[in-house]
Structure 1
Amino acid sequence: MRRRAQAWRAAATTVIWATSLFVVALWVSGGGVGAVLGADGETVTTLGRLTGLVAANLLLYQVLLMARVPLFERGFGRDGITRMHRFVGFWSFWLMGAHIVLLALGYAITAGINPFVQLWGFIWDYPGMLLATAGALLILLVVITSIRGARRRLRYESWHLLHLYAYLGVGLALPHQLWTGADFLSSPLATAYWWSVWGLAAASILVFRFGVPLLRSTRHALRVASVEPDGARGVTIRVSGRDLAALGARAGQFFVWRFLDGPGWTRGHPFSLSSVPGRDLTLTARVVGDGTHRLTSLVPGTRVIVEGPYGEMTGDLRTGSKLLMIGAGAGVAPLLALLEHEDYEPGEATLITRESLDEDALRQDAIADLVSRRGVRYLPLVGPRSSGPSSWLPSSHSAWAGPDLLRHLIPDPETYDVFVCGAQPWMTDLERDLASAGFSHHRVHSESFTI
């Protein structure tokens, strides 16, 4: 399994390097190196060409990352793709801005006119530039709403809708590249390359974001089987279907779920499997907004569309004999599925959960079953967040340093694999203390679901 994962990663990395080197070759073959040495308007213009090429290449990657192409999903994993999505998104935007500024300035220097006059001429006189301007404004909107501070102030449903404008922004920016971009039209090979890769990107969106999920969900006849309250603010949903083993889902993975219960069904939500996939699929969610509140009113028989399974936080990552599971809120769900599935002796698995209130705890029946049947050691940490250096702890444990508490609970960290799931800031704080407590970085496994 590890060799297969390494092969997928090598293939995905090769594709990225091959396309990147091709872009550099285009710039060099177009006289870019010599033009840079001129120290005149042409120097600024060629730097604008280079930033445009790199921005176009990064936008291509961004589309492919959003398209959930299996090559990249299996090569980098959902956590890696999430990090790449943010990195590529912001850099493509800044390079696109540099491309616009440098070209306007370079042409203006050569022509001896005001750069703003030159920019206005670009917008009105060049084919496709009005569409590109609209596309740039849409991409700007997506970038602004993706800044962490703005993201936290938006409802998930609003952010998700705004984020989809990235597709439209890229689509509007594309025509001017393929109609007037010198480096895109410099040779038949360059023209064929850019048309091919953008056509492939568009096809990938249609196939992997829409076609494959719809066909697989229809073939497996996925429908809601039951909906049950779970804790004071949670819900557990069981989804039935036929031949679910063919989906290839494993404990620890997640799907992007869409429930066809009326308006708003198009917005997908990532939820982990909260039990081992078998004759049905089970998900558990914390009710925190409009999207998750809708889950409480689902009725049995509602059709379901899923994308996935995604995620690499499975038992394949294990290298030790013992397990330490630490989860917060709904992050407990995939850890329970792993505890159900994995092999260990009684006393060799410890589950630590983090909740603000006792009544918020999820999947208590499943946890009690694991304690009695599999010998899992269960340690709930309940209460408001600590104001001390280890904010992943509750205030009742604020006298403890996080690493000291972990060493007290787990005196032999070298024998454990640790699986962590929760909000990203909480996981970051916890992982820092795990490292200080002596847990090997290579044995601490986590996955982020946020962008």
Structure 2
Amino acid sequence: MDVRTEAARTGHAPGRHRTGRRSDPAPAVTVVFQALIWAGVAAVLALWWADTPSVVGPVGWFTGAGRITGLLAGYACAVLVILMARVPLLDRTVGSDRLARWHAAAGRTTIVLTLAHVVLIIEGYALTVRTDPFTETTRVVLHYPDMLAATAGLLLLLLTAVVSARAARRRLSHETWYHLHLLTYAAVFLAFLHQIANGADLDRPGVQAAWYALYLGAAALIVWFRLLAPLRLYRRHRLRVAEVRTEAPGVVSVLVTGERLAELAVRPGQFLRWRFLAPGLWWTASPYSVSAVPDGRSLRITVKAVGGHSAAVAALRLGTRVWAEGPYGALTADRAAGRPALLLAAGVGITPLRVLFETLPGDPVLIHWARRPEELVLRYEIDAVAARRGARAYYSVSRPDGYRLPLDARTLHDLVPDLARRACYLCGPPGWTAAAEAALRAAGVPARRIHHESFAF
């Protein structure tokens, strides 16, 4: 079987059906959300400016800089929590992948600002009382109100930063990283206590009320979207495992049924965070895309064993109850804005694109890379969709030799001559995704028409 051959073409000729271009709300929401964040930064700087009549000498410069970095670090903590809240409007427009990158950037910024605040303010205080920084650190930690809590919060924040570093993430399972990352909540809570107790710039009724509103609002988003909304979904839809089917070596599909599933409004290309209430699985919610078109009666996911949690999914018992959060994700038809689509997948990244291949209008083209023919997950379904729609599907495998499609601009142009006018969807491992994006850019596809989401932690 030649895995390079395109799938059979039947039915109407592709490209004859035209659809109107739909506006994508994502850019507007992204701009507004970013503007709100920067408006908050401006407000924090204005607060410091209003409370600082003058900056005189080394003491004034150090303490002034310490106050600025402290205020900005406190604000960044609240933004960090908001980005963790999984607000559906942001997730479905800005996109999970971009939000994750913003969250990582906000985390690094928070760490830098917090450390700068500590160093600068201690040096300023030490100059004021004419002592050394070590002695002043001891005095501040032991004698200032809530400074022990603030120190504990700083240590938790630094621990979170360490386990989030790329080198550490490669050595940790997703489950371990996930639970250690939850320490961010404790660090932010302890930091808030310190800000209220020691923040001279916040010691005014209106300002303090605004700061409380910021943090309480962030906490409310977490409680609602991370706890109460999933609890409501669990009670209303009563999701249970109905079938577990092997698709390929180390890959299974799980069919989940429930009540009133049409109300979830899961769209092709989206994912949910699944928590299976079974021994060893209930404490972790993992993101898996739907791999079949939602029909209002069931949802299907396809999972590759890459860790302890995903490997255990294959052993799920029928009837296992499921706690789900979502749907999430912006890798939907809206991204195409009426353009024909090119779908590029690697490995099990085929799952969301398999659904888009079936549902996107016009003349979609799909290319799937895998190491071996048996790892072309869901190929039989993709071939059936291609034959039914008259669409094109190409496959590439590394073994045996001679069946590999290079991931470069020339190959993409040869397979899809109208590549430059298409909306391009990518899903696969981070390294492969970066290479695919580079190949598309070299082929003349604008960055605004390249869409991908990653679940890498």
Q: Does 1:213 align with 2:226?
A: no
1:324–1:417 contact (8 Å) kept in structure 2: yes
RMSD: 2.0
Q: Does 1:253 align with 2:274?
A: no
Pick the aligned partner of 2:30 from 9, 26, 48: 9
What secondary structure, in the 3-state scheme, does the structure 2 residue paired with 1:274 have? coil
Pick the aligned partner of 1:31 from 49, 52, 69: 52
Q: Does 1:146 align with 2:167?
A: no
Superposed CA offset, 1:315-338 (max 9, x none): 112146532211011210000110
What secondary structure, in the 3-state scheme, does the structure 1 residue paired with 2:202 have? coil
Q: Does 1:312 align with 2:312?
A: no
* CA displacement at 1:165 relative to structure 2: 1.0
Matched with 2:247 is 230
* CA displacement at 1:443 relative to structure 2: 2.2
Matches within 5 A, 1:223-372: 223-278=240-295, 279-319=297-337, 321-344=339-362, 348-372=363-387
2:94–2:330 contact (8 Å) kept in structure 1: no
Sequence identity of aligned pairs in percent?
Answer: 38
2:239–2:322 contact (8 Å) kept in structure 1: yes
What residue identity is the alignment partner of 2:347?
Answer: G
- Residues in 2 aligned to 1:283 and 1:134: alpha-carbon distance in whole angstroms: 41
What secondary structure, in the 3-state scheme, does the structure 1 residue paired with 2:61 have? helix
The TM-score with structure 2 as length reference comes to 0.90
What residue identity is the alignment partner of 1:168?
Answer: A
1:8–1:74 contact (8 Å) kept in structure 2: no
Pick the aligned partner of 1:403 from 391, 406, 409: 409
- Residues in 1 aligned to 2:260 and 2:26: alpha-carbon distance in whole angstroms: 25
Change in CA separation of 1:422 and 1:292 when aligned onto 2, cut-off 3 Å:
same
Matched with 1:94 is 112
1:403–1:436 contact (8 Å) kept in structure 2: yes
What residue identity is the alignment partner of 2:237?
Answer: H
Superposed CA offset, 1:233-254 (max 9, x none): 1011111112212112100111
Matched with 1:196 is 213
What secondary structure, in the 3-state scheme, does the structure 1 residue paired with 2:200 have? coil
* CA displacement at 1:400 relative to structure 2: 5.4
Q: Where in structure 1 are there 5+ consecutive unaligned residues?
A: 385-393
What residue identity is the alignment partner of 2:115?
Answer: G
* CA displacement at 1:132 relative to structure 2: 1.1
Matched with 1:178 is 196
Change in CA separation of 1:408 and 1:272 when aligned onto 2, cut-off 3 Å:
same
- Residues in 1 aligned to 2:407 and 2:45: alpha-carbon distance in whole angstroms: 51
What residue identity is the alignment partner of 2:232?
Answer: L
- Residues in 1 aligned to 2:302 and 2:148: alpha-carbon distance in whole angstroms: 46
* CA displacement at 1:3 relative to structure 2: 6.0
- Residues in 2 aligned to 1:123 and 1:366: alpha-carbon distance in whole angstroms: 63
1:420–1:446 contact (8 Å) kept in structure 2: yes
- Residues in 1 aligned to 2:89 and 2:175: alpha-carbon distance in whole angstroms: 28
Change in CA separation of 1:311 and 1:206 when aligned onto 2, cut-off 3 Å:
same
Superposed CA offset, 1:185-227 (max 9, x none): 1x11111111121122222211111111111122111111111
Q: Does 1:112 align with 2:130?
A: yes
What secondary structure, in the 3-state scheme, does the structure 1 residue paired with 2:275 have? strand
1:123–1:129 contact (8 Å) kept in structure 2: yes
What secondary structure, in the 3-state scheme, does the structure 1 residue paired with 2:288 have? strand
What residue identity is the alignment partner of 2:346?
Answer: A
Matched with 1:449 is 455
What residue identity is the alignment partner of 1:304?
Answer: V
Q: Does 1:128 align with 2:178?
A: no
Query: How many residues matched?
Result: 435
Change in CA separation of 1:363 and 1:305 when aligned onto 2, cut-off 3 Å:
same
What secondary structure, in the 3-state scheme, does the structure 2 residue paired with 1:297 have? coil
Matched with 2:430 is 424
* CA displacement at 1:429 relative to structure 2: 1.0
What residue identity is the alignment partner of 1:218?
Answer: R
* CA displacement at 1:353 relative to structure 2: 1.0
Matched with 1:376 is 391
Q: Where in structure 2 are there 5+ consecutive unaligned residues?
A: 1-21
Superposed CA offset, 1:312-370 (max 9, x none): 111112146532211011210000110111222xxx33221111222222112311211
Superposed CA offset, 1:96-141 (max 9, x none): 0000000000010111100111111111111111111111111111
- Residues in 2 aligned to 1:420 and 1:4: alpha-carbon distance in whole angstroms: 20
Matched with 1:388 is none
What secondary structure, in the 3-state scheme, does the structure 2 residue paired with 1:301 have? coil
- Residues in 1 aligned to 2:339 and 2:110: alpha-carbon distance in whole angstroms: 44
1:82–1:450 contact (8 Å) kept in structure 2: no
2:397–2:404 contact (8 Å) kept in structure 1: no
Pick the aligned partner of 2:63 from 32, 45, 52: 45
* CA displacement at 1:60 relative to structure 2: 0.6
Matched with 2:7 is none
Matched with 2:10 is none
Q: Greater relative contact order: 1 or 2 (C-alpha under 8 angstroms, separation 6 or more)?
A: 2
Runs of 4+ in 1 over 6 A off after TM superposition: none
Matched with 1:64 is 82
- Residues in 2 aligned to 1:311 and 1:2: alpha-carbon distance in whole angstroms: 18
- Residues in 1 aligned to 2:456 and 2:162: alpha-carbon distance in whole angstroms: 16
Matched with 1:76 is 94
* CA displacement at 1:271 relative to structure 2: 0.7
